[in-house]
């Protein structure tokens, strides 16, 4: 069985400048690797709407798989990841975003979104390692099927067992 591929984008001025360690990106890579995904790329970019949307387009270009962003989903003035994501996604996946928000009481404070770019599924999760992992765990069980639907590898209407 082939593994689904994943990429992780950390959106953080601190990580880019070297004043903060990318703990959430590392936690996501570990979670995904331990759950059947091959993490093929990790990237970082500052909290700038144009740079985040450009990074997402580049990560999704000629790629079939999962792209998870971590950081920039809160209420701080520079938290612009959902806005940047909305500029590039083709179709929203509100059920995934809502499931991630419901993962914990603090999830109500995230503005993260989810959607597709071509054959990629994009998820925005918080920048804290625990918040990032909780959010992805909340939808981990449906991700392989969602990715299979995007690529045409799964029957969209399987017969009941």
Q: How many CB atoms lie within 10 A of CB 139?
A: 21
pLDDT digits (tens, 9 = 90+) for 79-109: 999 999 999 999 999 999 999 999 999 898 9
CATH superfamily name and code, 4-151: MoaB/Mog-like domain (3.40.980.10)
Which among 75, 79, 76, 43 has a CA at the least distance from the CA of 61?
Answer: 43
Q: Burial, 48: exposed, middle or buried (Cβ in 10 Å; 0-12, 13-18, 19+)?
A: middle
pTM of the shown model:
0.94
Report domain extents, the chain.
4-151
Compute the distance between CA of residue 38 and CA of residue 94 in angstroms, rounded to an integer: 25
- pLDDT, tens digit, 9 for 90 and up, residues 13-46: 999 999 999 999 999 999 999 999 999 999 999 9
Instruction: Name residues whose C-beta falls within 8 Å of residue 143's C-beta, 6 or more positions apart in sequence.
Output: 4, 66, 121
């Amino acid at each position: 069985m082939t593994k689904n591929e994943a990429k992780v984008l950390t959106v953080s001025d601190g990580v880019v400048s070297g004043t903060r360690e990318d703990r959430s990106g590392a936690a996501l890579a570990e979670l995904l690797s331990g759950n059947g995904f091959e993490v093929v790329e990790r990237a970082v970019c500052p909290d700038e709407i144009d740079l985040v949307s450009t990074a997402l387009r580049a990560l999704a270009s000629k790629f079939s798989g999962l792209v998870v962003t971590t950081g920039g989903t809160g209420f701080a003035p520079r938290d612009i990841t959902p806005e940047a994501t909305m500029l590039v996604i083709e179709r929203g996946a509100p059920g995934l975003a809502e499931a991630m928000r419901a993962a914990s009481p603090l999830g109500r404070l995230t503005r993260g979104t989810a959607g597709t770019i071509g054959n990629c599924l994009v998820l925005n999760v918080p920048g804290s390692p625990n918040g990032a992992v909780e959010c992805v765990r909340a939808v981990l069980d449906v991700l392989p099927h969602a990715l299979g639907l995007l690529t045409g590898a799964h029957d969209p209407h399987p017969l009941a067992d």
